[in-house]
Amino acid sequence: MEIGAWVGNNGAATPEHMLSVAKAADRHGLASIWAADHVVWPVEYASRYPYGGDKYPADENQPVCEVVTSMTWLSAHTTRVRVGSLVIVVPQRNPWVLGKQLATLDLLNGGRTILGAGMGWLREEFDVLQAPFDDRLARGREAIELMRAMWTRHPLRFEGRFWQAPPVGVLPHPVQRPIPVWMGGNGEGAQRRTGRIADGWVPFGLGPVELRAGWDRVRRSAEEAGRDPSSLTCALWMPIALLSPGDPALPPEVLLQGGAEQLVERLAEYARAGLQHLLMYNLCPPEATAEQIARIAAEVLPAVAGLRPQG
């Protein structure tokens, strides 16, 4: 099992915090760092948050540093960790521009980029960005197809439903041809979509039983599409807290909490459910995140590095 860390480009969202997380992850042997995505945040919205509760657990006062810019800056300050998006709302963007941005990023960071891709849920954000919401799934699928073509072919002629081009130059290609795409989303639609078109699945906040059921659906979808399910990665973005003796317990819905031994036992359950790559949402004050990463790298990572997914 590999472990990565969210850098807090939303939330703390300061250069000092993001850099401390990225450098700690790079220095202490974590596999990846991740930046989240939202371009604007409506003050009022009716869209239902799909990851628990009706509303997103923050508001318009939370700063969000732009995701590709953040990934590029963090790539320049690290040497080893992979750098991913958690997740870019692909249908909100022009895929020619996004594909060029990511290809350039991957060239500059030596092939360390992962596109965490989502289809979006916040209609009001789409409206502000003048991006169609109702056909976002079809647009998102075609956008991924187009970007992969940009990353592997030259010159590129593209004839799609939403985007077309005569033969055009799209160089430079990324180091990775293509850049891996990990699909976000907890629902069955996202799971089937992952199996059909993605290289990995990265849901949020699932327990081992839910993860196993979703991962089985991803694998079945891959097989039905004629793809090898063993080539896909099962990831999970998850709140985590490494507690010291005497620390108060967090609410029981925080599934990954406790001392190092407890976390190792819990992660072994997740490995049996199929988990290969844990993305940590570190539950601690921003100024303590780098220290928690160092402790997890020293006390938890060696015990879980050898865990292999079952099934």
Angle (deg, nearest 10), helices 67-76 and 95-108: 10
Output phi, psi for 240, to 5 deg. -145, 145
How far is residue 175's CA from residue 90's CA, in Å, rounded to a whole number? 21
Residues shown for the chain: 311
Max CA pair span of the chain? 65
pLDDT score recorded for residue 310: 73
- ∠243-254-271 over CA atoms, to 5°? 90
Confirm if 144 and 197 have CB atoms less than 8 A apart: yes
- Indicate the pLDDT class of residue 311, thresholds 50, 70 and 90: low
For 49-71, what is the mean pLDDT? 93
How far is residue 296's CA from residue 37's CA, in Å, rounded to a whole number? 26
pLDDT score recorded for residue 52: 84
Nearest CA to 308 among 267, 261, 263, 280? Answer: 267
Whether pTM exceeds 0.75:
yes
Topology of domain 2-304 in CATH is TIM Barrel (3.20.20)
**pLDDT tens track for 215-230:** 999 999 999 999 999 9
Amino acid at 295: R
- ∠64-69-71 over CA atoms, to 5°? 95
* Domain residue spans of the chain: 2-304
Structure tokens at 169: 């130059």
**pLDDT tens track for 280-293:** 999 999 999 999 99
**pLDDT tens track for 69-95:** 999 999 999 999 999 999 999 999 999
pLDDT score recorded for residue 4: 98
Amino acid at 206: L
